[in-house]
Structure 1
């Protein structure tokens, strides 16, 4: 009986040794780099991009912010204008002007401006259009200085280069012959020509 027990214990020890032992053909598996990276990913989670916004996106956001600021500014202006009470004008029931449009006075103003500004001037394709606008504004402002009450003043001016060409200027208006009128004058030298017409339209 004792021999049987000793034999069983020896067999059990041999079985445990065989189970724990590693055979020569088996290789111990070392942790690979891929496994370590996978473990890092699992621990750290998905990596998020830290790059900033693109240049196009930044410009688009700035444009959008500018539009919003302009819209807000416009709303503030509209609200401020809306809150200002408008003065109530009482009707005058006046159907005639106090001072009528005087053709000779207006014509003298036109001639004075054209001769004083254009005398000795040479034509310039770059500057002449700007000069024409300036002359028209000056004539209109000086005619308004005549205190033509309730008259709408319109100045039409034509300026160009002299080149032995022919030119005809004409106009047609629908108005009240009793109060509405116009005055015209022209100027020319060896380089340029200019014609200005001022219309006075009475507003009832």
Structure 2
């Protein structure tokens, strides 16, 4: 069988002698190199909404984020070199704490903005495309004499 795939960069005619009949181009992965688990079968649940008691609760997430921001930043002074590692640490701590709340099938996106507090104005905005009945978000902020931080967590139900 002579199969032809066209790609933007090259044309591949398959199968070549000695190969297992796999045709690949720039954008695909040959399936003989993937690990297949024959015994595992996962069926779709078609559960389009979370159970009533298992919804993302913004007020609980906001309280957790405030607690984490306060405990991490209250003894910190702003330094230029610490921004990247501290925001990553804060985002990971917030995500871990929210995952421990036990809301199944939710995916979380956590964003932390950190800066030096010099009495300036800062605005943060976001836009999302989601189901307003099951998805939600929470925001929390913290500031001391030298640092300000704004954290946002988006909880998206994964059906």
Task: Work out the CA distance in 1 between the residues paired with 2:71 and 2:46.
Answer: 41
Partner of 2:70: 115
Aligned to 1:95, which of 29, 38, 48?
48
Partner of 2:80: 125
Using the size of structure 2 for normalisation, the TM-score is 0.74
Using the size of structure 1 for normalisation, the TM-score is 0.59
Task: Work out the CA distance in 2 between the residues paired with 1:80 and 1:145.
Answer: 35
Count residues in correspondence: 127
1:173 counterpart SS class: coil
Q: In terms of Rg, which structure is larger?
A: 1
2:81 counterpart SS class: coil
Match status 1:144 vs 2:99: yes
Q: Which has the higher helix share?
A: 1
Task: Work out the CA distance in 1 between the residues paired with 2:68 and 2:126.
Answer: 22
Aligned CA-pair RMSD:
1.7
1:127 counterpart SS class: helix
Q: Which has the higher strand share?
A: 2
Task: Work out the CA distance in 1 between the residues paired with 2:67 and 2:84.
Answer: 20
1:126 counterpart SS class: helix
Task: Work out the CA distance in 1 between the residues paired with 2:144 and 2:123.
Answer: 17
User: Superposition pairs for residues 1-204 of structure 1, below 5 Å?
Assistant: 81-82=34-35, 84-85=37-38, 87-98=40-51, 99-204=54-159
Q: After the TM superposition, which segments of 4 or more aligned residues of structure 1 sit over 3 Å from their partners?
A: 78-81, 83-86
C-alpha displacement at 1:148, in angstroms? 1.3
2:80 counterpart SS class: coil
2:118 counterpart SS class: coil
Comparing 82-91 with 107-116, greater Cα deviation is found at: 82-91
Deviations 1:113-156 (A, max 9, x none): 00000003101111222011100000001101111111110001
1:157 counterpart SS class: strand
Task: Work out the CA distance in 1 between the residues paired with 2:83 and 2:152.
Answer: 18
Q: Which runs of 5+ in 2 are unaligned?
A: 1-30
Comparing 100-109 with 78-87, greater Cα deviation is found at: 78-87
C-alpha displacement at 1:169, in angstroms? 0.7
